[in-house]
Chain A
Amino acid sequence: MEFLVASAIGILTAGGIYLVLRLRTFPVILGISLLTYAVNVFLFASGRLTIGAPPVLRDGIETYTDPLPQALVLTAIVISFGMTAVVVMIGLGAFLGSNDDHVDDVPDIDTDADQTGGRS
């Protein structure tokens, strides 16, 4: 089970990084969202994995999962929504203002030849 969670974190991260490295705002935002999932799950997993022992106190039950990472991740999820919304708004504003949704504001001197294509 640990392997599944760790690999899921890794795959989410890899997908997130790849998308973040794209050249348009929308895939970058998607990439950031994937990274957010990865980070949240990673933080959550720092409490180690426990199945069937939610941190809700019950009489006669002694084992519970670690509640602290859960509390921290809960606010992280909500805050990341706020941040995503701000980034989307900035991206949208930039697109509406310039009709261009590239993330790279590269001036004339550009060594990467492949970045110049498709810009108009």
Chain B
Amino acid sequence: MSLFFIAALPFLGALLPGLMNSAGRSACAGVTFTVSLAAFLGLLTNLPAVLAGELVTARVDWMPSLGLNFTLMLDGLGFFFAMLILGIGLLIIAYARQYLSRNDNMGEFFTYLLLFQGAMVGIVLSDNILLLLIFWELTSLSSFLLIGYWKHLPEGRQGARMALTVTGMGGLAMVGGMLILGQIVGSYDLSVILQNRELIQESPLYVPALILILLGCFTKSAQFPFHFWLPHAMAAPTPVSAYLHSATMVKAGIFLMARMWPVLSGTPEWFVIVTTAGLVTMVLGAVIALFKHDLKALLAFSTVSHLGLITMLLGTGTAFGALAATFHILNHATFKAALFMSAGIIDHEAHTRDIRRLGGLRKLMPVTFVIATLAALSMAGIPLLNGFLSKEMMLEEANHTVLFGIPWLVPVMATVGSLFSAAYCFRLIGHVFLGPVRDDYPAKPHDPPAGMWLPPAILVVLVVVIGVAPFLVQSFVFLVADAVVGDAAKIETKYIKIWHGLVPALFMSIIAVVGGLLLMAIFKPLSRGWEAAPRPEAKVIFEAIVEAAASLAQRLTFALHNGAFTRYALIGTIAIVLAGLHAWSTGTVGPATRVMQPIGAVPLAGWLMLVVATGALVFFHRNRFLALILIGIVGLMVSVGFVYFSAPDLAMTQFTVEVVTIILLLLALNFLPKHTPVESSTVRRLRDGVVAAVGGLATFALAYHYLLRDAITTPISEFHLANSYKGGGGTNVVNVILVDFRGFDTYGEIIVLGIAALLIYALTETLLNGPVRARLLNRKPDQARAGDMHPMMMVVLTRVIMPVVLIVGFYIFLRGHNEPGGGFIAGLIVSIAVVMQYMASGFAWASARLRYPYHGIIGAGVLIAGLTGIGSWFVGKPFLTSDFTYVRIPPFEKFELATAALFDLGVFLAVVGAVMLSLESFSRLARRAHVEDSEFPMDIDPSRDDPPDGSGPAREGG
């Protein structure tokens, strides 16, 4: 089966348990089992190729420019891990079917489990390290979901969060490490990286990459000092613990160390870091495990200890170490999964996992007793069980390892670790199963149904078979170990033997077992001493660190981001000025290449008006009406400036926008206070003034600097000027750029404009349907109303002007392609014409005559522009390619027809709709405020039949 299928099956299958949830628990577990089984069988179809030493690969280019390709490969190591993941996964699924109670959502559980399984398989099959990182993060996420599966338990949630934090941070470090590695080699393909041992180890970036990658591995595999998350993850349902902590999640770090072994190992840095971490973890985990009363906590720390053992073996950097590590991975997976499942059975049947409340279970649960005892004895290193074999190899390797120049250090530590390991295994057997039968179990224990004990039993059979007849798996283990070491080393050992003769390792084993029994004998006083001794609690430390980081972040954020807009503005301004200053002082300043143009009297006068108006605006801004007039002057002067500097289109746009902006601000000012009170202190105003002056000076300097210098490269505008007529069919280059060269920009811009208008509409609706509505209805105008709200002269004049303005707008629109004008300007002009009707004749009167809603006009505009662009697809051209032709219809002159005009029509409509929708929304607020609203255009209408009653005009229409 293709590797893609094997990796994808669990992910695709993850959809099924959720769907099958209502079909019953067996169906749900069954479909999950089938999916896993299919992947497992698919994997086995690749066995012959792997055994023959071939490298099975599958490749799809994903983002080749980034070096990220979907490349999978299967060698001995990958096969070994995939087999563990899928094989033990099958047993776990069968076990979980019995374990989970009726209250647990089984579909959810199996979905998470399959997601996790897929991510794990992805890690071990990846041939691209970027792809590997993606799967790596997926395991962190899916294990978070699995560990926190019992959402009602606070320990479950905390444990899940801690696991995610620790492994997630490690994952982040590893991203960095992998990227460095990829940079060194120049490829992200694992198969290429593995060929470049010398290149990587000679690189100055080797040590940073190594440390970052090891951080990822150590956090994932719970190595000291990151071991603390694993015991807390035990709050998960037992099938999860059995799966994650025997064969999969925590082995991911080990897998990666093994995978990278050929290129990263063998250096002093690797040796010291990995061996030390492994050794410390092994001893520490074993010692803590002995004194844990919770069965799963004991197993958790024993897992930590065994992971340390494997890490230490990989750290030694010898081929024999790698072989021993590989073998122990297999053995540990079998006996530890069996032990976890046994612990789950005990918890399930006796309703407690507290060792102090158990004992004597051998009579009540004989099957479980046999399974757990065999697995525990294997873990203790008793001969004829598989744990003994790999532990002997470990002790043998420890004997040849010299750390920090002290020859006895590693052997003694390894023996101490084994001793405690044996002790907690004996404790597990002795305190749970042996001893007298008690009568105070929380529930009456008995053996579970076969579905629950069969999975661990299968594993225990493996434990015994491998222990008695290691030659059965020998060739496979050698194959995997060969894949681990690659070309970097050669495995000298030929056989895995039970009996090596009277070698030191045997004596160390005997010391460990005898010492373990002795420790058991004095366990009670030892335990009391342990309880009394002070020791750091990892959870407290972890939470303190998280707390400290959170409060630091909070303080920093609050200092910069405290809800005061002025502070952001201030910080932003100062930061921009400082950045500019830095660029200015570090860059080079070329000499001026342009001469200053002479200053005429008229421009000077305009400049003076602009400066005075700006100054006055700043000084008189508290009087808001006056401020509006002043900003109008500023806008007008800017428009005039555009005229003067050869930008007629800009001038027209600026001018018309100025009109609608002022109307908009006036509408807003209807509600807002008319004056700004004095609130800031003089010091504060002085400070703001200084900041403003510095900001202004900086902008001046920058503008003045570049105005006197030519662009360093030729602007692309030459192209636009040269092709405007030939290619775009228009002589107004600005318009041709808008509707043709950069039509896609314009298209986006009219969409943004439309969204802004809709946003305003939506905000108005919200306001009018919320508590503000009542306030608006009861609002008293804070200023005297005009005596004549709709003066007759103005009504008549605007009506007369309307067609004229529309004709002007039409003319401006049509000529836009060749003369200053176009859709934007025409849209603004027409909007002004319509707004004038609203102003003169009243909202009700104007709305009643509105034939098309403004949303529709915006939509039509965007649609027309878009369809024009799409139209070019039909002739096989890219989006928004324009075309034009000249036609002559007698008796008219020859004129041009361009698709760009159609696009410009879309722009026109969108602008009209957006401007009108915004202004109309503001007016609607005002309309609620004035309850009286005439449907007549004029308050005094000579032609109206009803004579005015003299007291209140416009009442009749109400």
Contact = CB atoms under 8 A, between A and B. Distances in A.
B621 A78 contact: no
Contacts of A70: 647, 649-650, 734
Contacts of A90: 763
B713 interface: no
Contact of A73 (B648, B650, B660): B650
Contacts of B634: 12, 34, 37
A28 B692 CA distance: 13
Contact of A15 (B567, B614, B697, B776): B614
A54 B669 CA distance: 38
A74 B653 contact: yes
Given A10-B696, A51-B644, A104 B564 contact: yes
B673 A21 contact: no
Contact of B692 (A5, A21, A42): A21
Contacts of A22: 566, 621, 676, 680, 688
A54 B725 CA distance: 15
A96 to B, nearest CB: 5
A86 B614 CA distance: 24
Interface in A27-73: 27-30, 33-34, 37-38, 40-42, 44-58, 64-68, 70-71, 73
B769 to A, nearest CB: 12
Contact of B621 (A6, A17, A27, A45): A27
A13 B695 contact: yes
Interface in A67-109: 67-68, 70-71, 73-75, 77-86, 88-93, 95-97, 101, 103-107
Interface string B653-670: 110010011001100110
A106 B646 CA distance: 47
Contacts of B756: 79, 82-83, 85-86
Interface size range of chain A in the complex = 35 or more
A88 B665 contact: yes
B562 interface: yes
B217 interface: no
A45 to B, nearest CB: 6
Interface stretch (B9-17, B511-519, B590-598): B590-598
Contact of B715 (A66, A77, A96, A97): A66
A33 B827 CA distance: 21
Contacts of A64: 646, 721, 733
B618 A56 contact: no
A42 B564 contact: no
B293 interface: no
A68 B716 contact: yes
A18 B692 contact: yes
Contacts of B752: 79, 82
A1 B603 contact: yes
Given A18-B688, A33-B631, A6 B615 contact: no
Counting chain A CB atoms within 10 Å of each CB, the highest count among B624, B745, B756 belongs to B756
B339 interface: no
Contact of B914 (A56, A71, A82, A112): A82
B778 interface: no
A112 B641 CA distance: 41
A114 B703 contact: no
Interface residues of B, number: 122
B746 A75 contact: yes
A3 B599 contact: yes
A26 B668 CA distance: 9
B689 interface: yes
Given A3-B704, A105-B563, A78 B911 contact: yes
Contacts of B677: 118
A82 B751 CA distance: 11
A23 B760 contact: no
B696 A95 contact: no
A13 B699 contact: yes
A18 to B, nearest CB: 4
Interface in B144-192: none
B771 interface: yes
B604 A4 contact: yes
Contact of A101 (B672, B707, B710, B734): B672
B710 A48 contact: yes
Interface string B894-935: 000000000000000001001100100110010000000000
Contacts of B120: none
A19 B624 CA distance: 12
A44 B922 CA distance: 31
Nearest to B760: A89
Contact of A118 (B566, B679, B914): B679
Given A42-B703, A84-B661, A97-B767, A13 B696 contact: yes
Contacts of A51: 597, 644-646
A29 B772 CA distance: 22
A10 B699 contact: yes
Contacts of A113: 681
A93 B566 CA distance: 19
B618 A75 contact: no
Interface stretch (B105-113, B305-313, B816-824): B816-824
B565 interface: yes
A104 B563 contact: yes
Contacts of B706: 45-46
Contact of A77 (B596, B653, B918): B653
Nearest to B764: A89
Given A71-B737, A97-B771, A15 B618 contact: yes
29 contacts: A2-B708, A3-B596, A3-B599, A5-B703, A7-B704, A8-B607, A19-B617, A19-B618, A21-B566, A24-B673, A28-B565, A29-B665, A45-B703, A45-B706, A47-B717, A57-B733, A58-B731, A79-B752, A85-B756, A85-B760, A92-B672, A93-B766, A93-B767, A97-B767, A97-B772, A104-B566, A105-B564, A114-B683, A115-B564
Given A8-B611, A11-B610, A93-B767, 13 more contacts: A5-B645, A27-B676, A48-B594, A56-B732, A57-B725, A67-B733, A71-B734, A73-B650, A77-B654, A82-B756, A91-B668, A106-B564, A114-B679
Interface of B: 562-567, 569-570, 573, 594, 596-600, 603-604, 607, 610-611, 614-615, 617-618, 621, 624, 627, 631, 634-635, 638, 641-642, 644-650, 653-654, 657, 660-661, 664-665, 668-669, 671-673, 676-681, 683-684, 688-689, 691-693, 695-697, 699-701, 703-704, 706-708, 710-711, 715-717, 720-721, 724-725, 731-734, 737-738, 742, 745-746, 749, 752-753, 756-757, 759-760, 763-764, 766-767, 770-772, 775-776, 818-820, 824, 828, 911, 914-915, 918, 921-922, 925
Q: Which 8 A-B pairs have the closest CB atoms?
A: A14-B696, A10-B700, A82-B756, A6-B704, A18-B692, A71-B737, A104-B564, A57-B731
